[in-house]
Chains A and B, each alone.
Chain A
Amino acid sequence: MGSNTSRTIAGVLIFLGIFILPWWLSILLILISFFIFELFYEGLFFGIVIDLLYFIPRESFYNLPIVFILLLLFFLLLRLLNKQLRMNNVF
């Protein structure tokens, strides 16, 4: 099975999971996909979907979409770590 096919299947399963699985499991699947697939932008899209479906603006969260922001931070951190590791390999 090609990388693109498995990426598409993972995307579809996570999308369905958002509606069926407990929220923490859906987020865990997205985090795992960030490790497995390179530049898994779909994960950020799924973060937006979770926030659009369930988010209720509240002052305690500064009206910000927490799931999307946390996934974004994780995505950026992983990118940074990836770059650092590659740099270390070069030198």
Chain B
Amino acid sequence: MAYLSKNNKKKDNKKKIFFFGVVLFLIASFYFGGLFFLTGPLHYVGKPLWWLKNYSIEVVSNISTTIQTREKLSEENRKLKNELNQINSQLLLHQLLLTENNELKKMLGRGDENQNFVLANILAKPNLSPYDSLILDIGRNHGIKKGDKVVVNNIVIGKIEDVYLKTAKVWLYSFPNETLDVAIGFDKVIGSAEGKGGGNFEVKFPREVPIKKGDVVVLPEMDLFILGTVESILTTPEDSVQTILFRIPINIFELRWVQILQEQ
């Protein structure tokens, strides 16, 4: 039988102490944010890879569109034209209401004229990130600041969490187990929504609160930007509360661009 010599045991113990020391140091560095100076350089390394990945996905999707049959494409074209006509008429009404809303706000001294949008390309989406975050291709070089809201058209999806020289990390509001104040429906009923990941949320209200499927959910401080629409309401006769499930009305996994709302 082979026995470890005393020297070998000492060496083994030293190795173990060193290993656990390094591990503790790393966890503490993460906890206190000491290691995040490396994130910028890592994003710099990843940028061409992310770009290459997104570009190749685009090429493949273009090829698959090209090899679709002519009939299929013309049918799809007709459908899309119909949809576009419907949306255009809705858009006119929307623009009218938006102008009226802004005018009324100005009259009340609450105008939003100091807003500026910056367009950003998404480098990494939640399918790459285990933390439901986005990585954008602009950072301090475009004046992005921590806390700036991230929107897609008039839908708000998250806010800037970390800013580096040429990249920025976005915290999506649907981050699992995170709570967020929301206002639901025409009456703007205020509640605390819990993120469920991938653009989904859950919020609980007493049964008496009148909420229906399709109601619009907004952030209390940004009522012109939609956070989501009510998808389903879960309740049982014994329950005194109703569980509202709502989701962001776009697919985060298919997003390519976002706008960053900079407020001066």
A residues bordering B, Cβ < 8 Å?
16, 19-24, 27, 44, 48-58, 60, 63-69, 72, 90
Interface string of B19-53 (1 = CB under 8 A from A): 00001001100110101101100110110011001
| Complex CA–CA separation, A8 to B131 (angstroms) | 28
Bound together, the chains give a CA A72 to CA B1 distance in angstroms of: 32
Residues of A within 8 A of B171 (CB): 56, 58
Contact A54 B176 (CB under 8 A): no
Q: Give A67 Cβ to nearest chain B Cβ, in Å.
A: 6
CB atoms of A23 and B128 under 8 A apart: yes
Q: Which of B38, B50, B124, B133 contacts A52 (CB 8 A)?
A: B38
User: Cα distance A68–B130 when bound, in Å?
Assistant: 12
Interface check B247, CB cutoff 8 A: no
**Given A19-B128, A56-B169, does the pair A65, B30 have CB atoms closer than 8 Å?**
yes
Which of A57, A60, A68 interacts with B33 by CB under 8 Å?
Answer: A57
Instruction: Give the complex CA separation of A57 and B26 in angstroms.
Output: 15
Asked if B127 is at the interface of the complex by the 8 Å CB criterion, the answer is: yes
**Least Cβ–Cβ distance between A12 and chain B, in angstroms:** 12
As a 0/1 sequence over residues 101 to 117 of chain B, the CB contacts with chain A under 8 angstroms (1 = contact) are 00000000000000000
What separation, in Å, do the CA atoms of A53 and B135 have in the docked complex?
Answer: 9
> Are the CB atoms of A72 and B124 closer together than 8 Å?
no
What would be 14 A-B contacts, judged by CB atoms less than 8 Å apart? A19-B53, A19-B124, A20-B49, A20-B53, A20-B128, A23-B129, A52-B36, A54-B129, A54-B169, A56-B133, A57-B33, A65-B27, A65-B30, A90-B1
CB atoms of A72 and B128 under 8 A apart: no
Chain A nearest Cβ from B93, distance in angstroms = 38
Which residues of chain B are within 8 angstroms of A55 by Cβ–Cβ distance? Answer: 30, 131, 133
A55 to B130, CA, bound (A): 8
- Which single member of B31, B49, B130 contacts A50 (CB below 8 Å)? B130
Q: Which residues of A contact B53 (CB under 8 A)?
A: 19-20
Interface residues in B45-71 by Cβ distance below 8 A to A read 45-46, 49-50, 53
B231 within 8 Å of A (CB atoms): no
Do A22 and B128 contact each other (CB < 8 Å), given the known contacts A52-B35, A52-B36, A65-B27? yes
